[in-house]
């Protein structure tokens, strides 16, 4: 395709409001334009990439036995009232009235619509299982739409929903989708990890996020690898289980005593004041857990995590206590500690990382005082131990005992075992073989198509621009004419035709611009292979071929006669690598 015929409005300046690389580069390389906060027009280059991502998703979903349909983006409020989410979802749900005054929403996700459909159409176990998916525009009125397509308000999602006769079959499909997702992200040419994720309010017991590895990612994850370097376990840090420490208990020293620490309330203040390391100061965080006051205790260098606390206590709701609430329960905010605590209404939970420690400092439960030389066991007894802290690199995994490594990730996909949450709320039943009426067991599976493309950029770029993985690049080849002499243009046109005949997509830069200007634009746009034709090299009978990931020095001079076959081989190789990675990823996970 000719550059001069395409709308590719590249810009030199870095847009002021774009803080992440993908946002910046998509604006600069002429992929997107903003219409309103979190709402973008996808220009031709972006649309080509999104179509490729969507097609990979489609092929793999079909291969896994799912069926594509398309539901309306707009849905009546009644369905959301039935599921209870009309009240629960909050302001992210965009609601509006039609001309008759009826309440409607623009779908942020489609559990309600699909469950209503299946309730009406499926009557018998003979019609199950079903896995139905769509690739569609979603709308979520995010509080802080930012980072361009990474967190838009309007975005493209593949959402799939499966329906089963029992839990076992729903879990089988979960595994099937998990494998399909591994193939999808590998086929997109991305480095990713599947990690265990919180099941939140849905309460199902299985959920995995697919995280594209990138330093700019919003999510922190930890993972272990086996002796062959293959991922063996991974989880979001919020719920990654930590094993009990393997060290021997420390020997308690002098008896504990109280010291004055006026106005020293934070871990940092206390540690500095007493000349101790943070891990010697106990952190006591005060929570209200299902209406009970709880003191959660961990080492001062760690953080108590609400998701883990909730799990440790088998609780439904957790929030911090206000200072006033804490005082009413007999606690002294800023000076609370587990030793010599006289607050019978307060439950104390201690993180396993505190086990066997001595020489500690904790709040003395009196304004302006701390207790020093405190030893776990001697100075306070623990009724409830828990794994309470956010996992870090270097912790031992509670699942397999291996040491965690850490990374940052961008959530591009999510698989979820839903159980009967929606089928029971909306009465989606079927008649079993034994004529008994049962609830469908469900799973749901989402992929952010536009976010996947943005994540690809976060993972693959350099100072000059994007480095698209070949399978989702807008074009495979940037063909740059160096000058517009007839010989150059003829040869370039012939090459373009030869490649296109073989299904290789070419962005033919026929502009009347200096080579330097063209090269800059192509580096920005980021197609995987660049071919330069004309000028001095053509006089030598060669064209210059460079991968976007190559340095300038790695540019290859290929004789004109061999150029078509050479580049065809390069592109086919890159695409084949991703296909092979998909098979590997599936067998590895």
d(CA 58, CA 230): 27
d(CA 124, CA 430): 5
CB of 526 to ligand ATP, least distance (A): 21
d(CA 427, CA 63): 30
CB of 197 to Mg ion, least distance (A): 7
CB of 197 to ligand ATP, least distance (A): 8
* Residue 187 host element (H or E): helix 167-187
* Binding of residue 409 to ligand ATP (CB under 6 A): no
CB of 181 to ligand ATP, least distance (A): 10
Three-class DSSP labels, 28-79: HCCCEEEEECCEEEECHHHHHHHHHHHHHHHHHHHHCCCEECCCCCEEEHHH
| Token pair recorded at residue 311 | 């799990």
Whole-Å CA distances, 266 to 325, 336, 414, 475, 504: 19, 11, 37, 55, 61
* Binding of residue 26 to ligand ATP (CB under 6 A): no
Nearer to Mg ion among residue 103 and residue 238 (C-beta): 238
CB of 219 to Mg ion, least distance (A): 10
- How many CB atoms neighbour CB 363 within 10 A? 30
d(CA 22, CA 150): 8
Binding mask 103-132 for ligand ATP (x = CB under 6 A): ------x-----------------------
CB of 207 to ligand ATP, least distance (A): 9
Nearer to ligand ATP among residue 413 and residue 534 (C-beta): 413
To the nearest 5 percent, what fractions of the chain are helix, strand and coil? 35, 30, 35
| Token pair recorded at residue 510 | 């026929």
* Binding of residue 414 to ligand ATP (CB under 6 A): yes
Question: Where does this chain touch ligand ATP (CB under 6 A) — which range of 254-262, 364-372, 411-419, 567-575?
Answer: 411-419
Nearer to ligand ATP among residue 338 and residue 419 (C-beta): 419
Which residue's CB comes closest to ligand ATP? 448
Nearer to ligand ATP among residue 190 and residue 357 (C-beta): 190
Whole-Å CA distances, 589 to 62, 186, 255: 20, 12, 52
Site size toward Mg ion, by CB under 5 A: 1
From the number of C-beta atoms within 10 Å of its C-beta (0-12, 13-18, 19+), residue 180 rates as buried
Nearer to Mg ion among residue 210 and residue 380 (C-beta): 210
Closest CA to 194 of 227, 165, 233, 229: 233
Hey, which residues between 366 and 425 contact Mg ion (CB under 5 A)? 414
CB of 199 to ligand ATP, least distance (A): 11
CB of 209 to ligand ATP, least distance (A): 7
Nearer to Mg ion among residue 162 and residue 365 (C-beta): 162
d(CA 128, CA 166): 10
d(CA 39, CA 148): 8
Nearer to Mg ion among residue 218 and residue 303 (C-beta): 218
Q: Quickly tell me which residue has 């039943």 as its tokens.
A: 429
Question: Where does this chain touch ligand ATP (CB under 6 A) — which range of 172-180, 256-264, 341-349, 448-456?
Answer: 448-456
CB of 450 to Mg ion, least distance (A): 15
Question: Where does this chain touch ligand ATP (CB under 6 A) — which range of 71-79, 99-107, 442-450, 563-571?
Answer: 442-450
Binds 413, which of Mg ion, ligand ATP, none (CB < 5 to 8 A, cut-off by type)?
ligand ATP
Binding mask 449-488 for ligand ATP (x = CB under 6 A): -xx-------------------------------------
- How many CB atoms neighbour CB 315 within 10 A? 17
One of 217, 252, 413, 534 touching ligand ATP (CB under 6 A): 413
One of 141, 142, 250, 464 touching ligand ATP (CB under 6 A): 142
One of 306, 379, 411, 521 touching ligand ATP (CB under 6 A): 411
Contact in structure between 153 and 138 (CB atoms under 8 Å): no
In eight-state DSSP terms, residue 572 is: H
Nearer to ligand ATP among residue 413 and residue 469 (C-beta): 413
CB of 383 to ligand ATP, least distance (A): 35
Contact in structure between 417 and 207 (CB atoms under 8 Å): yes
CB of 186 to ligand ATP, least distance (A): 16
d(CA 439, CA 119): 10
Binds 448, which of ligand ATP, Mg ion, none (CB < 5 to 8 A, cut-off by type)?
ligand ATP
Contact in structure between 88 and 422 (CB atoms under 8 Å): no
Closest CA to 150 of 136, 140, 160, 162: 140
In eight-state DSSP terms, residue 304 is: B
Binds 528, which of ligand ATP, Mg ion, none (CB < 5 to 8 A, cut-off by type)?
none
* Binding of residue 58 to Mg ion (CB under 5 A): no
d(CA 493, CA 118): 53
Binds 335, which of Mg ion, ligand ATP, none (CB < 5 to 8 A, cut-off by type)?
none
Question: Where does this chain touch ligand ATP (CB under 6 A) — which range of 151-159, 372-380, 486-494, 520-528?
Answer: 151-159
Question: Where does this chain touch ligand ATP (CB under 6 A) — which range of 18-26, 315-323, 412-420, 423-431?
Answer: 412-420
Binds 431, which of Mg ion, ligand ATP, none (CB < 5 to 8 A, cut-off by type)?
none
**Residue 554 φ/ψ, nearest 5 degrees:** -85, 0
d(CA 1, CA 476): 11
* Binding of residue 151 to ligand ATP (CB under 6 A): yes
Binds 252, which of Mg ion, ligand ATP, none (CB < 5 to 8 A, cut-off by type)?
none
Instruction: Catalog residues that contact ligand ATP under the rule CB under 6 A.
Output: 109, 140, 142, 151-152, 155, 157, 411-414, 446, 448, 450-451
Instruction: Catalog residues that contact Mg ion under the rule CB under 5 A.
Output: 414
């Amino acid at each position: 395709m000719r550059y001069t015929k395409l709308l590719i409005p590249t810009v030199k300046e870095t847009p002021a409001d774009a803080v992440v690389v993908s946002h910046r580069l998509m604006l600069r390389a002429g992929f997107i334009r903003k219409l309103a906060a979190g709402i973008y027009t996808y220009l031709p280059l972006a649309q080509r990439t999104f179509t490729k991502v969507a097609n990979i998703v489609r092929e793999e979903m079909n291969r896994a036995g799912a069926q594509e349909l398309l539901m309306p983006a707009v849905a009546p409020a009644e369905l959301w009232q039935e599921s209870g989410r009309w009240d629960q979802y909050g302001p992210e749900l965009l609601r509006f009235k039609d001309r008759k005054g009826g309440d409607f929403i623009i779908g942020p996700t489609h559990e309600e619509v699909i469950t209503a459909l299946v309730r009406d159409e499926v009557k018998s176990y003979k019609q199950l299982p079903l896995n139905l998916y769509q690739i569609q525009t979603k709308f979520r009125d995010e509080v802080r739409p930012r980072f361009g397509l990474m967190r838009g308000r309007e975005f493209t999602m593949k959402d799939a929903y499966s329906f089963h006769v029992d839990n076992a079959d729903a879990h089988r499909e979960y595994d099937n989708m998990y494998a399909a997702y591994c193939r999808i992200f590998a086929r997109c040419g991305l480095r990713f990890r599947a990690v265990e994720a919180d099941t939140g309010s849905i309460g199902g017991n299985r959920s995995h996020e697919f995280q594209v590895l990138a330093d700019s990612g919003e999510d922190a994850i930890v993972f272990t690898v086996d002796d062959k370097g293959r991922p063996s376990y991974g989880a979001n840090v919020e719920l990654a289980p930590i094993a009990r420490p393997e060290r021997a208990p420390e020997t308690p020293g002098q008896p504990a005593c109280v010291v004055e620490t006026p106005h020293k309330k934070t871990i940092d203040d206390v540690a500095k004041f007493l000349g101790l390391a943070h891990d010697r100061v106990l952190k006591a965080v005060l929570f209200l857990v299902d209406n009970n006051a709880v003191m959660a205790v961990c080492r001062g260098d760690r953080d108590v995590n609400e998701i883990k606390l909730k799990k440790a206590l088998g609780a439904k709701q957790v929030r911090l206590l206000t200072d006033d609430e804490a005082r009413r329960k007999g606690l002294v905010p800023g000076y609370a500690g587990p030793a010599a605590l006289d607050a019978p209404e307060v439950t104390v939970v201690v993180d396993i990382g505190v086990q066997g420690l001595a020489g500690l400092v904790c709040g003395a439960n009196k304004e302006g005082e701390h207790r020093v030389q405190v030893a776990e066991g001697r100075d306070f007894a623990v009724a409830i131990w828990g794994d309470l802290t956010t996992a870090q690199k270097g912790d031992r995994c509670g699942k397999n005992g291996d040491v965690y490594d850490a990374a940052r990730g961008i959530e591009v996909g999510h698989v979820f075992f839903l159980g009967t949450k929606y089928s029971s709320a909306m009465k989606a039943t079927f008649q079993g073989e034994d004529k008994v009426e049962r609830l469908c067991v469900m799973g749901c599976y989402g992929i952010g198509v536009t976010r996947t493309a943005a994540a690809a950029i976060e993972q693959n770029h350099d100072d000059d621009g994007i480095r698209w993985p070949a399978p989702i690049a807008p074009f495979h080849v940037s063909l740059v004419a160096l000058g517009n002499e007839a010989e150059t243009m003829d040869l370039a046109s012939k090459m373009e035709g030869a490649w296109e005949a073989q299904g290789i997509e070419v962005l033919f830069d026929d502009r009347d611009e200096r080579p330097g200007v063209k090269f800059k634009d192509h580096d920005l746009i980021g197609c995987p292979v660049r071919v330069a034709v004309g000028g001095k090299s053509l006089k030598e009978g060669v064209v210059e071929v460079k991968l976007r990931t190559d340095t300038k020095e790695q540019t290859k001079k290929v004789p004109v006669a061999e150029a078509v076959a050479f580049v065809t081989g390069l592109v086919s190789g890159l695409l084949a690598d991703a296909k092979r990675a998909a098979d590997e990823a599936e067998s590895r996970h």
